[in-house]
Structure 1
Amino acid sequence: MKSHDATVRELLDVAGTTYAEQADIDLADKPAPLYRLLVLSVLLSTRIKADIAVAAARELAVFGTPRKMLDATWQQRVDALGRGHYVRYDESTATALGQGAELLLDRYRGDLRRGREHPDGIPKALQEIPKLGPVGAHIFCREAQGVWPELRPYLDKKAQDGAKRVGLPTAAKDLAGLVPGDDLPRLAAALVRVTLEKDTATRLIPA
């Protein structure tokens, strides 16, 4: 049986690219990349393949701030989603993105970092964004813990289910002890892929 350390090394090697990295987001504690992560989280929240959501997020990068997203026409947002083949939910998502950008500008002056001061916590603040429910909040927090240390360790049920499948401990604090803090987003992404992607699970779960 492989050791936990060996399993984690394999996880990170095979599936440890974060969704932000996959979407060409150079994540940092700055307004623009955090906003792009928020948009990606909205796109990943729907019942659509992750690769399609990531492709659509890349297309929407041209509207990479709340002001640019709000200033874009609804049709421009729909067209960008279409170029990423995000067609099943394109119209409703285009509307939600405009509404979310307006909310961010009104409430946080376009800077999502101000949501960290929400009295009910970051996940609750995120769920005020149109079309971003608990699933989207989990996605954002799993990735953002790399730049917002107060979220660590953020390893929700999807990540914990993946840990169970590959024989790792499931408690967040135990999983966090297996990697440096900066690697937690990569570990979370890898564990989620084990849960959601059959091919990844097949490569990593012993027969």
Structure 2
Amino acid sequence: MSKIISAHDLQIDLQGANEAGLFKWLLASFLMGKRIQGQIAANAYQVIVEKHHRDTPHKLASCTHRQLVTMLGEAHYVRYDETTSSRLLALANKVNTEYDGKVSNIVAASADRRAFEKRLSEFEGIGPKTIEIFLREAAAVLFESST
């Protein structure tokens, strides 16, 4: 059993439900939600966000499919590199076009946690595992404070 990788492990700050942290954690959760070793997913996150500075929906959406495939390859995230690259671009574009580039707007558009989970599941490539990983840490800053 591999170690569960947390937002803290990736130096992602979720305090105050800040936008930068929420998007980075969504991106990391997306990568870790696939059937791939956690450390490889974490490496992919670090290559995309720390090495190539694609840490916002706008910056990620400005990548080409080929650039993302190359970044995933750098991290040895090669099993699903083509589909993951396409889905990362779709994720960034959907956050940009439907939610004005902000994960917090997905929350604001949702009546409650269940509605938020439904909205996340409408993103291509986001399934129950990715939602579980994301909310394992983000739920506390997104939903508990509002009750």
Q: Which structure 2 residues correspond to residues 51-66 of structure 1 after superposition, within 5 A?
A: 51-61=39-49, 62-66=53-57
Tell me the equivalent position of 1:93.
84
Given that residues 63 and 69 in structure 1 are in contact (C-alpha distance below 8 angstroms), is that contact kept between their aligned partners in structure 2? yes
CA distance, structure 1, for counterparts of residue 66 and residue 20 of structure 2: 22
Q: Which of 120, 123, 127 is equivalent to 1:129?
A: 123
Give the AA of the match of 2:123.
I
Q: Which 5+ residue runs of structure 2 have no aligned equivalent?
A: none
Q: Where in structure 1 do 4 or more consecutive aligned residues deviate above 4 Å? A: none
CA distance, structure 2, for counterparts of residue 151 and residue 144 of structure 1: 11
Asked if 1:48 is matched to 2:24, the reply is no
CA distance, structure 1, for counterparts of residue 19 and residue 103 of structure 2: 6
TM-score by length of 1: 0.61
Q: Which of 27, 38, 43 is equivalent to 1:39?
A: 27
Bigger Cα Rg: 1
CA distance, structure 2, for counterparts of residue 90 and residue 21 of structure 1: 25
Q: Which structure 2 residues correspond to residues 140-159 of structure 1 after superposition, within 5 A?
A: 140-150=134-144
Over the residues paired in the alignment, what is the CA RMSD in angstroms? 2.0
CA distance, structure 2, for counterparts of residue 151 and residue 133 of structure 1: 25
SS in 2 for 1:121: helix
Give the AA of the match of 2:119.
A
Q: Which 5+ residue runs of structure 1 have no aligned equivalent?
A: 1-14, 153-207
**How many residues are treated as equivalent by the alignment?**
137
SS in 2 for 1:63: coil
Q: Which has the higher contact order (CA 8 A, sep 6+)?
A: 2
CA distance, structure 1, for counterparts of residue 14 and residue 75 of structure 2: 21
Indicate the larger mover: 115-124 or 143-152.
Answer: 143-152
Given that residues 31 and 110 in structure 1 are in contact (C-alpha distance below 8 angstroms), is that contact kept between their aligned partners in structure 2? no
TM-superposition CA deviations, 1:18-65 (whole Å, max 9, x none)? 521222322231222211111111111111111111111111112110
TM-superposition CA deviations, 1:80-106 (whole Å, max 9, x none)? 111111110111101101011110011
Tell me the equivalent position of 1:26.
13
TM-score by length of 2: 0.84
Identity rate, percent = 34
Q: Which structure 2 residues correspond to residues 1-207 of structure 1 after superposition, within 5 A?
A: 19-28=6-15, 29-61=17-49, 62-116=53-107, 117-119=109-111, 121-150=115-144
